[in-house]
Amino acid sequence: MPLSVAVLMDPIGSIKIAKDTTFAMLLEAQRRGHALHYMEQGDLALRDGLPYARLAPLSVRDDPSAWYTMGERQWRDLREMDVVLMRKDPPVDAQFMYDTMVLDAAHRDGVQVVNNPQALRDCNEKVFALHFPQCMAPTLVARDPAELRRFVAEHGQAVLKPLDGMGGRGIFHVRAGDKNLNSMLETLLGGGPHGEGRQFTVAQKFIPQISAGDKRILLIDGEPVPYALARIPQGDEFRGNLAAGGRGVGVPLSERDRWIAAQVAPELRRRGLRFVGLDVIGDYLTEINVTSPTCARELDAQFGLNITGQLFDAIENPPA
């Protein structure tokens, strides 16, 4: 039976369709005969506690010169939709949180929201990984520069990053004794001279296996896709993120990768996190991406997969 599928995403006119997983979802939904509806952040509202959205009918084509056609936007009760794909990229700021509260009202009345809005609020992509310390390298989340300096000194090398970043932005590789460490911490922590307004910062022990790639493992309802995309740093760059110039190479999952996925999967299912990306370097989980995980199109192209087809199989047959 055809479904009404709404997507909340960043402006569709600015995406790169060859690498955009949200676009792959839309192509798959349309191929199955589902009706597509488009919205951006400014298109949500609550009217007397009921969720509304300014929705535009949407059609998509796998054509880099003209990949979408959009109709006129009209306000509609969001509960008229069967599915909402929540695919807004970070930062997970206050406005993102408010979006999830509107989507909660739809979710309570039976709309499938992928991923669950409550879980999007609760599961910061870096802190949520710490629910699984058995899978992780030593990690500290703190606002105190002295604690962060102590962590770097203890481990010799560390990676520092903000809690709300994406695409490799704001990430530093630092060694004990680095004269730039205080400047890096000032950049990440921010705040006033007495510590007021400081931002939480993540410090992780540096994992040398980053040279072999930062693997993205995609899970659908807790089941891992059998291949990961290893995002390999290029040149003098230590970051593997594709947005930072990393090269994506598909690799089969290792036994350790599958073990990590099995450790995480029950909690993902419990929270309604239906499409998730794990970041794994060497033997260690580093992040759990729940907002808008990517890499489906690259893996599809390299291995002849249809990852978003698996996702829509799950959406059409939701767990009890």
Distance of CA 230 to the CA centre of its chain: 16
**Whether the predicted model's global pTM rises above the 0.85 cut:** yes
Q: How far apart are CA 84 and CA 37, in angstroms?
A: 9
Check if the beta carbon of residue 182 is closer than 8 Å to that of residue 145.
Answer: yes
Burial 297-317 (b: 16+ CB within 10 A, else e): bbbbeeeebebbbbbbebbee
Task: Give the model's confidence band at 132: pLDDT under 50 very low, under 70 low, under 90 confident, else very high.
Answer: very high
Higher pLDDT, 26 or 318: 26
Question: What pLDDT does residue 168 have?
Answer: 62
Residues 6+ away with beta carbon under 8 Å from 160: 148, 152, 171, 172, 174, 184, 185, 188, 201, 202, 203
Least confident of 8-22, 103-117, 122-136, 186-200: 186-200
Residues 6+ away with beta carbon under 8 Å from 193: none
Query: Catalytic positions, please?
Result: 126, 161, 216, 231, 239, 279, 287, 289
Question: What pLDDT does residue 213 have?
Answer: 87
pLDDT of 200-256, one tens digit each? 999 999 999 988 889 999 999 999 999 999 988 776 655 555 565 678 899 999 999
